[in-house]
Amino acid sequence: MEYIRKLDLKKHLLTAISYMIPVVCGAGFLIAFGMAFGGDAGVDLTQPGFSFWDALAVMGGLALGLLPMIISTGIAYSIADKPGIAPGLIIGLTANAISAGFIGGIIGGYIAGYLVISIIKYLKVPPWAKGLMPTLIIPFVAALVGGLIMVYIVGTPIAILTQMLTGFLDGMGTSSLLVFGIVVGALSGIDYGGPINKTVFAFVLAMQAEGVNGPITTLQLVNTATPIGFGLAFFVGKMLNKRIYTKTEVETLKAAVPMGFVNIVEGIIPIVMNDIIKCIIATAIGGAAGGAVSMALQANATVPFGGVLMIPTMEHPMAGVLSIVVNVLVTAVVLAILKKDVSQRKEAELEEEDINLDYIQVM
Amino acid sequence: MKIVSVCACTVGIAHTYIAQEKLETAARNAGHEIAVETQGTIGTENQLTDEQIQNADIAILATDVKISGEDRFSNLRIIKVPTEVAVKSPNKLIKKAEEVLG
């Protein structure tokens, strides 16, 4: 176990995700905008006759299609530094070739990374060939071995796994969709873009690549609605004769709420930190409610990001709108009820948790 | 105690900077000097100078992702923690640093 922890597998995945997020946001926005105004992401840009919105949609869509490659490159780079980039790229594209999607990208990245380290460690070349190592030998050998592993060993199990998953999700009846929505919604609501959110995100993004749009719609709608709900809570609080936010928090909200409209939830983190438990309760309940609506009514956005911009891309746009509205209302009301008036808030120095020794490395 | 630190969380827009603030406050409250470099999604800010690293007693790396220039700290004792630890328990983290240095 100690050895596994030393490997720090999580760090490599998180590094890749941190490179991937700007791509998903940037490209997701492009395709959301494009599709919102009627663009078609399947248009051929080399033939005349495409619209401006088509161009946006295509640009965004192509970038999103390359996400497995970005993930694999990120992981390989995290493991093996610069020499890992080329093999990561090549093996990631191989993941696309075998339709192994996201999971294939992740597996490919680790394979590429560890192959590169092994080659550097164990492959001895004569002095005249030293220069060829990073330029030719490592990329070629790593990509060759890694690619073959992907095609002949990894490919089939992944295809089977994805088929099973898609079949399972397709076959879910309305009541199970509701439960699923509640679970995804609540999970997404708990940590405001933190590790749980990111893990669920990776999972549901992979599902969207298989054509299952429900879960990712749920997650992103929760991230969209949460900051807006916090904003609305201010006014609900007023109705209950409570000032639930300090001056600084109100200022923070002024930036955080617009960010919410475009799917960025992190803006409200400072507010959450001041009152963690109550905020989490409010967002989890709101998220569960919104999630249930969006899954059961099958809002199904076809883009992975965009906040309110996702609505025009949805199979059932009204379901998306309803989901956001429900989420916002529930979060706002629960939060306003739970929170005390600011005059009663203690500047409580919360007792810090003891540092879990598992997570600390001393070198 | 002179501390140098790098903070780098996954999304790179929130926890990185919160960790920076929390570490700075905790270190100063305990009477230490600290310089915190952040590697967020926007890039490296407040980059540590060679001098700062040379004069430091210990490095605290509050990182979830791979950071650039980790080899800068090869001559220092290093404490590596997830960003979350710096955000949630900065004072205990500084205490731990004090312990490590004896």
For residue B45, what pLDDT is reported? 94
Under a CB-based contact definition with an 8 Å cutoff, are residues A94 and A150 in contact? yes
Under a CB-based contact definition with an 8 Å cutoff, are residues A74 and A17 in contact? yes
Is the CB of residue A26 less than 8 Å away from at least one CB of chain B?
no
Confidence of residue A188 (pLDDT cuts 50, 70, 90): confident
Q: Which of A11, A193, A354 sits opposite B64 (nearest CB)?
A: A11
CA atoms within 13 A on the CB side of B90: 19
Do you know the residue count of chain B? 102
pLDDT of A350 higher than 60: no
Compute the distance between CA of residue B90 and CA of residue B76 in angstroms, rounded to an integer: 20
Confidence of residue A26 (pLDDT cuts 50, 70, 90): confident
Higher-pLDDT residue of A96, B3: B3
Q: Which secondary structure element, helix H or strand E, spans residue B3, and what is its range?
A: strand B2-8
Do you know the residue count of chain A? 363
Is the CB of residue B101 less than 8 Å away from at least one CB of chain A?
no
pLDDT of A205 higher than 60: yes
Sequence-distant (6+) residues with CB within 8 A of A330 are A229, A285, A286, A289, A290
Residues of A in contact with B66 (CB under 8 A): 11-12, 15, 77-78
Compute the distance between CA of residue A219 and CA of residue A201 in angstroms, rounded to an integer: 7
pLDDT of A233 higher than 90: yes
Three-state SS for B46? coil
**Most confidently predicted of A127-131, A192-196, A204-208:** A127-131
For residue A123, what pLDDT is reported? 87
pLDDT of A118 higher than 90: yes
Three-state SS for A9? helix
pTM of the model: 0.77
**Helices A67-80/A85-97 angle, 10° precision:** 150
Maximum alpha-carbon separation in chain B: 36
pLDDT in tens, A260-314: 888 888 788 878 878 888 999 999 999 999 999 998 888 998 888 888 888 888 8
**Closest to A181 (Cα-Cα) out of A215, A229, A206:** A215
Under a CB-based contact definition with an 8 Å cutoff, are residues A182 and A291 in contact? yes
pLDDT of A199 higher than 80: no
Compute the distance between CA of residue B48 and CA of residue B32 in angstroms, rounded to an integer: 17
Per-residue CA distances from A253 to A231, A256, A309, A335 (Å): 6, 5, 21, 14
Q: Could you give the strand order of the β-sheet that contains B2-8, starting from the edge strand earlier in sequence? A: A361-362, B77-81, B58-63, B2-8, B33-40, B43-45
Three-state SS for A186? helix
Compute the distance between CA of residue A322 and CA of residue A301 in angstroms, rounded to an integer: 14
Is B9 known to be catalytic?
Answer: yes
Compute the distance between CA of residue A333 and CA of residue A83 in angstroms, rounded to an integer: 53
For residue A46, what pLDDT is reported? 87
For residue A358, what pLDDT is reported? 65
**Closest to A342 (Cα-Cα) out of A248, A273, A245:** A245
For residue A173, what pLDDT is reported? 67
pLDDT of B102 higher than 80: no
Sequence-distant (6+) residues with CB within 8 A of A280 are A189, A190, A272
Alpha-carbon dihedral A321, A323, A328, A329, rounded to 10 degrees: 100
Is the CB of residue B67 less than 8 Å away from at least one CB of chain A?
no
- Within 4-33 of B, beta carbons closer than 8 Å to A belong to 9-15, 18
In the numeric block, which tokens belong to residue A11?
């760090």
DSSP E strand boundaries for B21-101: 33-40, 43-45, 58-63, 77-81
pLDDT in tens, B4-16: 999 998 877 778 8
Q: What percent of chain A has pLDDT over 90?
A: 31
Segment among A111-125, A184-198, B64-78 with least mean pLDDT = A184-198
Compute the distance between CA of residue A177 and CA of residue A60 in angstroms, rounded to an integer: 29
Please tell me which residue of chain B has the smallest CA distance to A267.
B14
Is the CB of residue A353 less than 8 Å away from at least one CB of chain B?
yes
**Closest to B38 (Cα-Cα) out of B65, B1, B57:** B65
pLDDT in tens, A53-80: 889 989 988 888 888 899 999 999 999 9
Place of tokens 């590094």: A15
